[in-house]
Amino acid sequence: MSTANSPALSGPTSGGEIAGKAPPPWLALGSTVASESIQALGRRLVPPPAALMTMTVGYQLTSRAISAAAELGLADHLATAPGTVEALAEAVGADAGALARLLRLLELAGIVRHRRDGRIELTRLGAPLRGDHPQSVRDWCRYLGADWHWELWADLDASVRDGRTAYERRFGTDFFSWFGVHPDEAQVFDAAMRSFSSLVDGPVVKACNLRGSRTAVDIAGGSGALLAALLRAHPGLHGTLFDQPAVVERAQADGPLLADDVRSRVAFESGDMFSAVPEGRDAYLMKWILHDWDDERAAAILAGIAAAAPRGSRLLLIEMLIGPGRATGPARQLDMAMLVLTGGHERTGKDFHALLNAAGFEMRAIRRTASPMHVIEGVRR
């Protein structure tokens, strides 16, 4: 989402896990298809009532239990060595009996395992729940499990009925305005977005075509993580981070763009992307921005970029895509999240083609990455 910018795989090492090289797109997609096909087969083999009951209680395992583990910091305490339930309970401030029950459920999910000596150890799957893991998803899980986020999903049926977001219905405001007056919750959300970015930015950078570009601007670029990665991949490129004043101020105070190897090639500009964006750049980038908005607002953003972009300049949109039929990927789940949270929606390739064409861009390519994201490339006519 716009406050900051299936995950790349990681491999085992001594003392835990480090980020592995991103798999090629065909392997990432193939793994996802195989996994979902196995799940679909399992559902067909189970009587429908039992399958539906299993699906409806799945949130207790796949979301709430894992979010609780992230909130308690269980993976951080198990990172160096296995421990007993009693020692772990004391370390995280939990009731030993209740924690033992949670650990049994987490073992079923493959997050931890019980050793023969009675101690609990973290698995390869559970390792990214550590805060210090290079591809940590701890903050993402904390955000999804936060009570103020979780309760909004109780409004899904109401949002389907009237098309309004849960924020509008419950709080009388929009998603971004609500975070503007809830700074603690905004920090949790920002951390979740950084967590997501750490998983997708590497594959995205490889798919971004910036050949011949000397200047680029990342619109609503958040902390600047993606822009920093692009500058490292293209030593001759100069980049501008463009976002709201408060966001740019935070990025200038403490962000990835302050690193010694990119700082000299960075500029910071603040403003409102619905009013005007920096002019005259060779490339314009937006990661996970347009999905926050309905078609009218998305068209307004693209029209503003077209007004600022020289003829022949490149537009790179990093978004999820809804595939045809029963195509795999998380875009359909995110589409429901946009319905409940922001009022935007995920789109198909044809949807983006229509938006770009109407704004004055010619679509040149859609590139799949070794992550859930696609890079949609257009050129200013």
Place of tokens 């997050």: 111
Q: Which of 149, 291, 345, 374 is catalytic?
A: 291
- Distance, CA of 132 to CA of 80 (rounded, Å): 12
Task: State the Cα–Cα distance between residues 285 and 226, nearest whole angstrom.
Answer: 10
77 among known catalytic residues: no
Q: What is d(CA 46, CA 145) in angstroms, rounded to the nearest whole number? A: 29
Tokens of 55: 């699906």
CA 159 to chain centre: 23
Handedness of CA 191, 196, 202, 204 (dihedral sign): negative
Strands 266-270 and 215-219: unpaired
DSSP H or E segment with residue 162: helix 156-162
Per the CB < 8 A criterion, the answer to whether 45 and 59 are in contact is no
Catalytic residue positions? 291
